[in-house]
Chains A and B, each alone.
Chain A
Amino acid sequence: MATWIFSDPFRALGLWTAAAAAIVLLWYLARRPAPTRATKLALLLGIGVLPIATAGTGNLAGYEATKERPFCSACHVMTPYGDDAASAASRSLAARHSRNAAFGHESCYTCHADYGMFGTVATKLGGLRHVYEYARRYRSMPVDEFLATIEIRRPFPNATCIRCHSTVNPGWTAIGDHASALAEVRAGTVACASEGCHGPAHPFSKEARKARKARAGAGEAAP
């Protein structure tokens, strides 16, 4: 308990202020005192100051929670992505980056945050679109079907990779493929996370799509 409070003081503060507000409000509802100035001041604490503090810290804790990998993989169709990223045995690009402390539990957010180009707020708005799509189309879809259907909305931008892999270090440019495709990589016309380069970040989903296409192709070829 103590460790948890010290590791997440905002959440602890939010819970304490919520508890204090609840005490004031329950006292008011149980005792029903006359609405004197003292009662109104007590209610200012119980309805105004303390809940606003709870909302402030709660929102902050909520925003932080939305960056965590368990949050992203809470919907059933995203579970394979979260499991793969968390797997110590997986050799996928996502898993290898998740083992890096700089990505850690926020590996989904760290890589996918710049979809909107306008930072955190745009990313959160994009997340709301995910919620909408999930509620509308994917809520009751089996995972296998989802993996074979889902596509990234826009190609994964190389700029995300270049934030860490700067493309100017001698170790990077010494690799022949990097040196020959330097302009294309920087321009984003050759994707770092593509087959033939570093592979897709979540290869299992691509395999499911390939299998589906192969099945569809076989169906068309058959008389």
Chain B
Amino acid sequence: MRWLAQRLGVIDPSRLLRASAALTLAALALMVWSMLQPTPLPVMLAMTVGQALGTLAFALYGYVVIADVWRGRRARRARRASDAGTGGGDAGEAAR
């Protein structure tokens, strides 16, 4: 899992989101095909490949959002730590 996160971490989030959007479009195409032509092949493809593509796309989107939240938290924590180290924020400014 960590290996996967590291591999994904080096990819630009916008690129991941574009891949996620493209995968969702492919999944939607399969699902729409199965609804317009409910014969065995489209229905089975929609319920297997379509579902898998949609799930993968949503997982990629979820990864990008969660990684972004974590990155924001880490940045805030680092800023707070550096502020505390230099006498900190408004209090430090006022003291000067």
Contact = CB atoms under 8 A, between A and B. Distances in A.
Does A pair with B? yes
B90 to A, nearest CB: 26
Nearest to B55: A55
A74 B13 contact: no
The main secondary structure of chain B at its interface with chain A is helix
Instruction: Place the interface of chain A in its size category.
Output: 35 or more
B31 A47 contact: no
A32 B14 contact: yes
A68 B35 CA distance: 14
Contacts of B17: 28, 35, 43
Contacts of B22: 25, 29
B18 A55 contact: no
Contacts of A58: 31-32, 34-35, 46, 50
Interface size class of B (residues with CB under 8 A): 20 to 34
Main secondary structure of the interface of A (DSSP, over half): helix
Contact of A65 (B13, B21, B43, B50): B43
Contact of A28 (B21, B27, B39): B21
A54 B40 contact: no
Contact of A59 (B24, B36, B40, B47): B47
Contacts of B54: 51-52, 55
A192 B13 CA distance: 65
Contact of B18 (A29, A54, A61, A71): A29
A92 B43 CA distance: 30
Contacts of A131: 40, 44
A26 B28 CA distance: 12
Nearest to B18: A29
Interface stretch (A14-22, A148-156, A181-189, A209-217): A14-22
A211 B29 CA distance: 47
A88 interface: no
A35 B43 CA distance: 34
Max chain B CB contacts within 10 Å: which of A29, A35, A58?
Answer: A58
Nearest to B53: A51
Contact of A62 (B20, B21, B24, B38): B38
Nearest to A72: B40
Interface of B: 13-14, 17-18, 20-22, 24-25, 27-28, 31-32, 34-36, 38-40, 43-44, 46-47, 50-51, 54, 57-58, 61, 64-65, 68
25 contacts: A14-B35, A15-B32, A18-B28, A21-B24, A21-B28, A22-B28, A25-B24, A32-B14, A35-B64, A40-B68, A44-B61, A46-B21, A47-B20, A48-B58, A51-B54, A51-B57, A54-B28, A55-B31, A55-B50, A55-B54, A58-B50, A61-B38, A62-B47, A70-B39, A75-B40
A-B pairs, top 8 by smallest CB distance, nearest first, are A65-B38, A58-B31, A25-B21, A47-B61, A62-B43, A74-B39, A18-B28, A47-B24
